[in-house]
Structures are given as structure tokens and as C-alpha cells.
Amino acid sequence: MAKEKQRTVEVTLDSGDKVKVVVRKPTNRVTGDAQRVAAKVWTDCIRDGIMTKKELSSIMKANGMWDKDKEKEQDTIVTALQDLEKKLYIGKKGSKMKVKDAKKIAFDMRLKRHELRDLLSERIELEGNTAESLSENAKFDFLVANCAFYEDGKNVYNSLEEYNDKSEDPIAFMAASTLAELMYALDKNYEEKLPENRFLIKANLVDADLSLVNKDGHKVDAENRLINDLGQYIDDEDNRVDIHGNPLDIDGNYIPQVTYTHENGKAIKLLDSKAKSKESEETKKAEETKTPEEQKQTESQ
């Protein structure tokens, strides 16, 4: 199968207009120019005292930011993920597994993967400021600036500087992500192909956003409790509740389930927050429309 050399993508601009952009793999000449840009940035970084990844690693270990304990923790999480995957797909030879148990294993894998990402996030963030990363970023920016074209063959960007000035616009974002997919075989459906999500998709336990759903297609948590698109617990009628099913108002406050009484046993009528706000607003407006004489009368009372 021939490797993809270019891809045409449609981009929706901030104005709502649509434009087609052709992203091509870099030629040898463009790649060579990009490597020279990267070499220059590397030299500038070293001259300016910016750390290399090796220097950063030494400093992180010396300061306890990334030591042997964290390396051990990383290895432990990776091993746990591998064990859970085997348990999910292989289990015990010839045995059966209830779908709820398989779902629990898949969800545990998701949690472990989040743990791993959280553990590595600080290190990855710091490595983004090393000489190597800055050099690679400069190289990639140069490639994007020289590999994006309109349908008529004209360059989208006339220079690296122009690309950098417009790097936040929709075309730049789409051109960069598309080139990365072409060059590095990045899979835009990476999350869907994770072993835990592959199972959940095949078992029809998640929706298109990979959110857990019940047999009726409603979003749920790992314990099959209903949630809305915001991750808030709800009942069968879409009313907010807490994790135990106790009713909440739209702001997440408990709705009283008891009757409050005066000393004589007469029930107290409670105003909800909206009614109270409306009453306060009406009182304020009434005060503002009073004549000076009426205001004096009120103050004397």
C-alpha cells in the first residue's frame, strides 16, 4: 500500500467561510532547510544557556522532581495496565466473564492510564523547554509553513514569520495536525484504539465520545448511575441528584426533604432561591420608586 503523500482538508474560518487546504509531505530540499533551521535554534539555545534533556534529567533527579521512586511508580502503572489488559481479553482459559465485570476492568484501565499521564505530565512539560524540544518545534513550524498550499497551488504562508504570526488561526492548526499525521503516522483515532476503549466500543458500552452509556444509550458512570453531559448525577427525569440519589437544585444545593415548623408547630414556608431573588428585586424597585416623604416614613418605622 502506497504511503499517503498529501491530503486535502476543508477548514472553517472564524468568519464561517470554508477553504480547502492541501498539505503535502516535505520534499528533500524543504527537509534540508528545516534541519538547518533546527540546527540554528539548537546553537542559539546552547549559547543562551537553555538546558538539554540530559541536563534537565540530572536537575530533576537532584531536586527530587523525578527520582528512582517515580521511575518505579511509572513501571508499576505500566505493569498494572498490561495485567489488566490480559485479564480483560484473556482471563482464565475457557472461563466466562460478566459484562459488568469486564466493564469494570476497562474502566480501571482508564484510571490507570490517567494516573500515568498525570505522573508524566510535569516531566513532559519541563522537557518542552529544553534545547532539543525547541529545536524540533522550530523545524516542524518551518515544515508546516512550507507544506501548506491552496487548491490553486499557491503557498498558504509566504514565510516562517507569517506562519508564526498566524499560528493560532484555524488553517494553521489544521495544517499542523494534518502534516503530523502524514509524517509521523499519528492516529487521530488514537483514543478509540486503546485496548480498553476497543472493548467498550465493541460491547456497545460507550457513545461516539467514548463516554460510558447504559443499554438505553444514556450516559452513566462506572457504577451505571445516570449522569448528564456535564458529568452531574441525574434521576430518570433528568433532575439533578447527588451520588446517592438525593435531589439537588440546578445549582447543586440540596432540596429540603423535611418540613420545618415554628414552636407552635405551624409549618414554615420556604422560598426557593429564584423566588427569593425575585422578591428582593421587587422590593428594591419599590424602594427606588418611593417619594422622599414615603422613604422618611419607612425609615421612621
* Within-domain flag for 253: no
Alpha carbons 40 and 9: distance in angstroms, whole number:
32
* Within-domain flag for 93: yes
Residue 24 has pLDDT above 90, yes or no: yes
Supply the range of the domain harboring residue 24. Answer: 6-192
Question: For position 186, what pLDDT does the model report?
Answer: 67
Report yes or no: 259 and 270 within 8 Å, Cβ to Cβ: no
- Tens digit of pLDDT for each residue in 53-69? 999 999 988 888 888 88
Cα three-residue angle 242-244-247, rounded to 5 degrees: 45
Question: For position 300, what pLDDT does the model report?
Answer: 56
Q: Using alpha carbons, select from 7, 1, 2, 9 the residue that is nearest to residue 24.
A: 7
- Tens digit of pLDDT for each residue in 131-184? 999 999 999 999 999 999 999 999 999 999 999 999 999 999 999 999 999 998
Report yes or no: 144 and 171 within 8 Å, Cβ to Cβ: no
Question: For position 298, what pLDDT does the model report?
Answer: 57
Report yes or no: 138 and 130 within 8 Å, Cβ to Cβ: no
- Tens digit of pLDDT for each residue in 202-234? 999 999 999 999 999 999 998 889 999 999 999
Report yes or no: 73 and 80 within 8 Å, Cβ to Cβ: no
* Within-domain flag for 175: yes
Work out how many domains the chain is built from and give that number. Answer: 1
* Within-domain flag for 32: yes
Per-residue pLDDT band at 1 (split at 50, 70, 90): very low
Alpha carbons 40 and 43: distance in angstroms, whole number:
5
* Within-domain flag for 59: yes
* Within-domain flag for 60: yes
- Across 44-51, average pLDDT: 96
Question: For position 175, what pLDDT does the model report?
Answer: 96
Phi, psi at 22, each rounded to 5°: -100, 120
Question: For position 149, what pLDDT does the model report?
Answer: 97
* Within-domain flag for 49: yes
Mean pLDDT over the full length of the chain: 89
Report which secondary-structure segment, H or E, holds 10.
strand 6-12
- Tens digit of pLDDT for each residue in 90-142? 988 778 999 999 999 999 999 999 999 999 998 898 899 999 999 999 999 99
| CA dihedral of residues 143, 147, 148, 154 (deg, nearest 10) | 130
Question: For position 273, what pLDDT does the model report?
Answer: 54
